[in-house]
Amino acid sequence: MTAKIIDGKEIAAEIRKEITAGVEALLADGGPHPGLATVLVGDNPASHTYVRAKRKACAEVGIESFGHELPADASQAEVEKLVSELNADSAVHGILVQLPLPAGLDEEAILKAISIEKDVDGFHPLNIGRLAQKGREPLFVPCTPAGCLVLLRKAGAKLEGANAVVVGRSNIVGMPAALLLVKENATVTICHSKTTDLPGVCRRADILIAAIGRARMIRGDWIKPGAYVIDVGTNRIDDPTTKSGYRQVGDVDFDEAMEVAGAITPSPGGVGPMTITLLLQNTLRSASRMRP
């Protein structure tokens, strides 16, 4: 069997076109110009790169972005004051605090300070709590897990009644991905570093989401024939044949999985392009919701 490749770049490009049209329609209808505020604390180079990419993506679909930077030694009060000003700013429909925050800052308190109406990253404890409760709906869902679900739907996976296995239980990927699958009526197993017989558990999965951060850990013979595999992992491995000396691989051994899975996302080019796309979508939704 050769798996179908779930092309995240192509799917993200389609959705971004819809977002561009949505922004234009909102403006034509007298609605607000969607705006995203980014808050970057400190000088983590990866965080700077992510925020730059998010602001560039905003510009491409016609969403305004407002960049705010604070020094690495900013106090808890200073960060919370900025968040509170952005909560009150009517030009801002989404607030993104880039994680991780420098050591010493209370991440939970800062995320909690964001108005849930502007929590486009979906990390506010209330939004996560609603995601975990039956019959309650969060205003926003975290972007990477939401992107995984979009990819599964676009690939034609049947979620209801499926056996889904999520490897990883982080607050930003694994756990919300599992909660989203439960909401879709899948039967979900969450695995982590203490799981026994991980290969055996994975082999029962009709839907397998890998969010581990370990290069090519999931082997072909851990995969049920025909399964849908979503590889969230982004790991750097040495590759002297490339200019940079390294390249990105996922948490799944892609070549082996291609022989067994029914459909699979590549890494790069799978989940990655979806994350920012869902952030743009959340910002547009927020602006549409806040229109006067």
Whether residue 83 contacts residue 41, with contact meaning beta carbons closer than 8 Å, is answered with no
* Position among 11, 152, 201, 232 found at the interface with ligand NDP (CB under 6 A): 232
- Residue among 74 and 272 whose Cβ is closer to ligand NDP: 272
Q: Is 144 in the site for ligand NDP (CB under 6 A)?
A: yes
Kindly determine how many residues on this chain lie close enough to bind ligand NDP according to the rule CB under 6 A.
Answer: 25
- Residue among 62 and 233 whose Cβ is closer to ligand NDP: 233
- Residue among 41 and 212 whose Cβ is closer to ligand NDP: 212
- Residue among 86 and 218 whose Cβ is closer to ligand NDP: 218
Least separation in angstroms between residue 144's CB and ligand NDP is 4
Tell me which of 54, 118, 183, 224 is the catalytic residue: 54
What Å distances lie between residue 260 and 17, 76, 207, 250, 278, CA to CA? 33, 49, 13, 16, 29
Q: Is 168 in the site for ligand NDP (CB under 6 A)?
A: yes
Task: State yes or no: is 29 an active-site residue.
Answer: no
Exposed / middle / buried, residue 75 (Cβ in 10 Å: 0-12, 13-18, 19+):
exposed
Q: For 10, which DSSP code?
A: H
Q: Which of 177, 224, 216 is nearest to 200 (CA)?
A: 224
Q: Is 148 in the site for ligand NDP (CB under 6 A)?
A: no
Least separation in angstroms between residue 205's CB and ligand NDP is 14
Least separation in angstroms between residue 33's CB and ligand NDP is 26
Task: State yes or no: is 54 an active-site residue.
Answer: yes
Which positions ≥6 away from 227 have C-beta within 8 Å?
A: 205, 206, 207, 208, 260, 261, 262
Using the contact rule CB under 6 A, the part of the chain among 40-48, 127-135, 233-241, 255-263 near ligand NDP is 233-241
Which residues inside 169-228 make contact with ligand NDP, applying CB under 6 A? Answer: 169-170, 172-174, 191-195, 198, 211-214
Whether residue 81 contacts residue 41, with contact meaning beta carbons closer than 8 Å, is answered with no
Least separation in angstroms between residue 249's CB and ligand NDP is 10
Which positions ≥6 away from 6 have C-beta within 8 Å?
A: 151, 154, 155, 228, 230, 263, 264, 265, 270
* Position among 34, 62, 233, 266 found at the interface with ligand NDP (CB under 6 A): 233
Using the contact rule CB under 6 A, the part of the chain among 67-75, 76-84, 104-112, 163-171 near ligand NDP is 163-171
Task: State yes or no: is 221 an active-site residue.
Answer: no
- Residue among 152 and 191 whose Cβ is closer to ligand NDP: 191
- Residue among 54 and 285 whose Cβ is closer to ligand NDP: 54
Whether residue 34 contacts residue 23, with contact meaning beta carbons closer than 8 Å, is answered with yes
Tell me which of 119, 121, 231, 251 is the catalytic residue: 121
Cα(229)–Cα(205) distance, integer angstroms = 9
Whether residue 165 contacts residue 189, with contact meaning beta carbons closer than 8 Å, is answered with yes
Amino acid, res. 171: N
Here the tokens at position 173 are 């990927």
Cα(9)–Cα(104) distance, integer angstroms = 37
Report long-range pairs for 188-197 (Cβ below 8 Å, ≥24 apart): 188/164, 189/163, 189/164, 189/165, 190/166, 191/165, 191/166, 191/167, 192/167, 192/168, 195/167
Which residues inside 43-62 make contact with ligand NDP, applying CB under 6 A? Answer: none
The residues assigned a catalytic role are 54, 98, 121
User: Where do contacts with ligand NDP occur on this chain (CB under 6 A)?
Assistant: 144, 167-170, 172-174, 191-195, 198, 211-214, 232-235, 271-272, 275
